[in-house]
Structure 1
Amino acid sequence: MANIPDLTTLVGKAKEVYKNEFNSDAEIVVAAPGRVNLIGEHTDYNDGFVLPMALPLVTIIVGNKTQNNESVIITLSEDIKENKKVSIDNLKKCIKSDPKPKWANYVLGVIANYIGKTSSFEAVIISSVPLGGGLSSSAALEVATYTFLDALNGLNDVLPTDKALACQRAEHDYAGVPCGIMDQFISVMGKENTALLIDCQNITSKLIPFVSDEVAVLITNSNVKHELTGSEYPTRRKQCYEAASLLKKISLRDADKKDVEELINLNVDEVIIKRAKHVISEIKRTTEAAEALRNKDFVRFGKLMIESHYSLKDDYEVSCPEIDELVELALEVDGVYGSRITGGGFGGCTVTLVQKGAVNKVINNIGDKYKGKATFYVCAPSNGAQIISAPYL
C-alpha cells in the first residue's frame, strides 16, 4: 500500500527546493486535492449528476510575490520529463500559442482566467496526486494555482463556483481538454467526511455525509497511463450531443429509458445508442447512490457501483483489460460492496467500497493475481482547497 505523504512532509520538500532556487523562504503555502468519483462517470458534460469526494492526495504550491515582470514556476513531479522550470515574461499575456511544457499550460490557463488582479511570483509545485491516474491531477494543479493567486493577491469576494468555472475554462482553452465541471468543483468545495453531489445542469451541489467506522474507500492505480487530449474523450462528447440532438433535447439529462427506445426506432447508429444508454442510466444510478450513501446503505451503493462499471465497459467503452481485471479481482473478495473504474477511462484507477476488515485481503488478492503492478491508496473524504499560510493572514 502506498503511503500518502502528509502536508508537512510535502510542504517541507517544496520549501527546501524554493530556498535553494530563490535564496529566500516561501511565505505562501496552498493546497488543493485530487478527487475520486464514487459514481457518475461521463455524466458531467451531459448536464447530469456526479458524486465525487476530495482526497488526501494533494497538489501544493509554495512561493512569494515578486516585484518584476517575470514569474518563475518549478515543478518537482518525477513523472514530468519536459522542462520542469518555466518563466513567464508577462502575466497578462499568457498566449496559448507560446510553446510551453504541457504541465505549464494548466498554470498559464488559470492565470489567464483568474478573476482579479495578479502580480508576478516565484513558486514551487509538488504533488502526491498520481499523473494520468484518473484522480484529477490536472484539476488539483488548476485549483492550487487559483488558490495560490488568491493568497498572493489577497482574497476577494469571488464565489467558489466561479473559481471552479475559471479553472475549467483554463483546461478547455489551454490544455485542450473539454472537461465537465466535476473535477474543479470538488477540488474547490470538498469537505472532510462528505461526498459532493453535483448537479451539472444547475451548477449546484449538496454535501452528502460519508462517515462510517465500517467501510473504507480503496483506490487501486492500474499504472496504465491515459491522456484525455486524444480523440476518445472529445469523440464521446460529440456522440452524446448527437444523441441529444436526435431526441430534440438540450442534453441527455432530459432523456429517459423511453428515449433509448426512440433512438432504436430511428435506426440510429448502435454506438450512439450505447453512449446514450450509459449516460441516461448513469445519471439515475448517481442520484440513487447519493440516497443510499445518505442512508448508509452500502450494499445498495456497491451494487450501483458494479452496474456503473459494466455500463462504462460495455456501453461507453472506456475501460481496458487491466481495469476490468482489477475490478474482477476486487469483487472476488468477501467484504467488497462494489468496485468500478473511476475517471475518464482507458487506464487509471478503480475505486472500491469495502469493509475495513477486508482491505488487506483485497490488496493481497490483487497483488497476487494482477498481471501488472498496482498501487493502492486507502482514502477518507477530505477537505478542498485551502490557504495554509500567506503574508496577509
Structure 2
Amino acid sequence: MKQELIQKFNEIYGEGGELKTYFAPGRVNLIGEHTDYNGGHVFPCALTIGTFGVFRKRTDRTMRFYSVNFPKAGVLTGSLDELKPRKEAGWSNYPVGMVWTFGEKGHPIDTGFDMLIYGTIPDASGLSSSSSVHMLTAVALRDMYGVEGVSNIDIALYGQFAENNFNGVNCGIMDQFAISMGKKDNAIYLDTSNLEYEYAPIKLEGMKIVIACSNKKRGLGDSKYNERRAECEEALAELQKVVDIKALGDLTEEEFEKYKSAIGSEVRMRRARHAVYENQRTKRAVEVLKAGDVAEFGRLMNASHVSLRDDYEVTGKELDTLVDTAWKQDGVIGSRMTGAGFGGCTVSILKEDAVKSFIENVGKIYEEKIGYKADFYVVEIGDGAGIWE
C-alpha cells in the first residue's frame, strides 16, 4: 500500500523532494466511556486500522492536503500566515489545527508541506478518525521539522488542545492518548485526572474483538457531547458544595449515593451517576482482566452499555439494536457502545468460532430493524502513532 500512496502523492503534487511516511491508528475504548473529562479512568487500545500519510516539506508557507478517501474534495490549501478554522477547509482543519497548536506551544512551523492521507477507519464511526489525523500530523511535524523535547504524551495533549481550542470540540484526553501511546496486544489503563497509566496485556485466547459500525453518521461538534459535559460540570459544582472533590471520578458509588441529593435536577443526577459508576466499573474491569476472568469483564461491558443508555442517554436506536442483538448471540462475552455515542460503533468480545454467525445474524437483524446495513470489523490491537516503516 505504501508504494501506491507514494505514487498517488506524486500524481497529485508532482515528483521530487524527500517523501516521508507516517501512521496513526484508530482506537477503541473497551470500557470507561464519558469518564475521561470527569477525572476518571479509561481503558482504550490502539487498533491496526488507522490513518496512513505521505508528507513532503515545501520551501514556501503553503500547506496542501489531499485525502484518498475524499477525492471529490480535491486538493485543499492553507497558509501558515492564516491559521484559523475555515468551513470550506473541511477535514484539513484537523492538520491545520495541529500546526497552529505547535506554534502555540512554542514550536512554530516555518515552512509549508504537502500531505496525502488514506484512512482505513470508517468515517464518523466513533473510532476516532479525527484524533488519528491529529496524531498523524503531530508525529509528522515533530519528525520533519526536528522538534525536540516533545514526547508522545505531549503530542496527546497537543491533540486535545487542538480539538478544544481550534476545532471546537470539548473532548477529554483519552482518544489522543490511546493513539499516541498505543502498544501492540495491550490496552492502556489511564487515570485521566493525572495521566498516570499502565499497559495491561489483552489475552483473549480463542476470542476476538469485533467492531460493529452502525453507519449512522454523527459529528462530535454538533452532537450533544458538549451538552453532556456541561451537565456533568454543573453536577460537579453542586456536589462540591457538600463534599471536597475535584472531579466526579473522585467519588465511590457509596459516596455518590450519600451526596447525590445536592444535585438540583434528576437529569444531572443521572449524568453524574453514570460518570461515577462507570469509573468504578472500569477499575474493576481491569482487575478482573488481570485475573483472567474475561466473563466478568464481559458482564461489566454490558453494564456499561446499560448505564450509557439509561443514565447518560447517548446510545440511540441504532447502537441499542446492535448491542441488544449481540447479547442474544451464542459465544458473546460482552458488548457495548464505544465512543461518544449518538451513532458510531459497538465493541464486542466473542468466541472466535462464533464470529461468522455473529456478523451474519446481527447484520441481518440490524438491517431489518434500521433499514440500512451495519459494517463489521474483526480488529487487532496495534502500536501507537509514529513513522511508517
| TM-score using structure 2 length | 0.92
Does the CA contact (< 8 Å) of 1:92 and 1:112 recur in 2? Answer: no
TM-superposed deviation, 1:307? 0.1
TM-superposed deviation, 1:258? 3.8
In structure 2, what is the Cα distance between the partners aligned to 1:332 and 1:341?
A: 16
Does the CA contact (< 8 Å) of 1:247 and 1:259 recur in 2? Answer: no
Supply the AA of the counterpart residue of 2:140: F
In structure 1, what is the Cα distance between the partners aligned to 2:168 and 2:334?
A: 33
DSSP 3-state at the match of 2:205:
coil
Q: Is 2:56 aligned against 1:64?
A: yes
Does the CA contact (< 8 Å) of 1:117 and 1:153 recur in 2? Answer: no
| Unaligned 5+ runs, structure 1 | 1-8
TM-superposed deviation, 1:263? 5.3
Which residue of structure 1 lines up, in the alignment, with residue 124 of structure 2?
Answer: 132
TM-superposed deviation, 1:251? 1.2
Which residue of structure 1 lines up, in the alignment, with residue 326 of structure 2?
Answer: 330
TM-superposed deviation, 1:353? 0.7
Supply the AA of the counterpart residue of 2:180: V
TM-superposed deviation, 1:368? 2.3
Alignment equivalent of 1:21, drawn from 12, 15, 19: 12
Cα deviation, 1:168-189, whole Å, max 9, x if unaligned, reads 1111122111110000001100
Alignment equivalent of 1:120, drawn from 109, 112, 118: 112
TM-superposed deviation, 1:259? 4.4
Does the CA contact (< 8 Å) of 1:109 and 1:169 recur in 2? Answer: no
| Unaligned 5+ runs, structure 2 | none
Q: How has the CA–CA distance of structure 1 residues 205 and 92 changed in structure 2, closer, same or farther, with 3 Å as cutoff?
A: farther
Report the identity percentage: 37
In structure 2, what is the Cα distance between the partners aligned to 1:150 and 1:113?
A: 12
Q: How has the CA–CA distance of structure 1 residues 27 and 48 changed in structure 2, closer, same or farther, with 3 Å as cutoff?
A: same
Alignment equivalent of 1:280, drawn from 263, 268, 276: 276
Q: Is 2:90 aligned against 1:94?
A: no
Q: Is 2:137 aligned against 1:169?
A: no
In structure 2, what is the Cα distance between the partners aligned to 1:184 and 1:87?
A: 25
DSSP 3-state at the match of 1:370:
helix
Supply the AA of the counterpart residue of 1:345: G
Does the CA contact (< 8 Å) of 1:306 and 1:339 recur in 2? Answer: yes
Q: Is 2:94 aligned against 1:106?
A: yes
Which residue of structure 2 lines up, in the alignment, with residue 76 of structure 1?
Answer: 68
Supply the AA of the counterpart residue of 2:89: P
Supply the AA of the counterpart residue of 2:209: V
Question: What aligned pairs does 1:103-252 form with structure 2 within 5 A after superposition?
Answer: 103-114=91-102, 116-118=107-109, 119-154=111-146, 156-248=148-240, 249-252=245-248
DSSP 3-state at the match of 2:235:
helix
TM-superposed deviation, 1:40? 0.3
TM-superposed deviation, 1:245? 0.9
RMSD in angstroms over aligned alpha carbons? Answer: 1.7
In structure 2, what is the Cα distance between the partners aligned to 1:154 and 1:264?
A: 51
DSSP 3-state at the match of 1:39:
coil
Regions of 4+ moved over 4 Å: none
Which residue of structure 2 lines up, in the alignment, with residue 374 of structure 1?
Answer: 374
Alignment equivalent of 2:359, drawn from 363, 373, 380: 363
TM-superposed deviation, 1:14? 2.3
In structure 1, what is the Cα distance between the partners aligned to 2:150 and 2:260?
A: 46
How many residue pairs get matched?
Answer: 376
Cα deviation, 1:53-107, whole Å, max 9, x if unaligned, reads 10111101102111122121111224x86x3422222x254124x5542311111
Supply the AA of the counterpart residue of 1:273: M
Q: Is 2:34 aligned against 1:42?
A: yes
Does the CA contact (< 8 Å) of 2:124 and 2:218 recur in 1? Answer: yes
In structure 2, what is the Cα distance between the partners aligned to 1:246 and 1:267?
A: 6
